[in-house]
Amino acid sequence: MQIVVNVVIFVAMVLTVAAMAAPLMTDTQLDRTLADKSAMQRHLRCALHEGPCDVVGKRLRTLAPLVLRGSCPQCSPQETQQIRRTLAFVQRNYPWEWAKIIRQYG
């Protein structure tokens, strides 16, 4: 019985670590999201605390301020690259929202 419990705990730990290491969004999914105006509006409302957040929005809202400040020790290299890319996209394509983000997080 103890062996079964230990195996279950080990499997749960491995799945948790794998989920933490896996990116929340692939580069292809990011491209699709950036091209989808309604998805971008949802994420921007989330980032500005003006609307609900999904899992990706919550992670972005947590990590983006760190990336903006130039240091995100808990970000993977892929997350850092994707967040920088997203922030540059918002800066170019959503200037009013970008100004709000800078006031809120900058």
* Amino acid occupying residue 77: P
Architecture of domain 25-105 in this structure: Orthogonal Bundle (1.10)
**Residue ranges of the domains in the chain?**
25-105
69-97 pLDDT tens trace? 888 888 888 988 988 898 899 999 999 99
The Cβ of residue 4 has, within 10 Å, a number of other Cβ atoms equal to 8
Q: Are 43 and 60 in contact (CB under 8 A)?
A: yes
Tens of pLDDT, residue by residue over 26-65, are 999 999 999 999 999 999 999 999 999 998 888 888 888 8
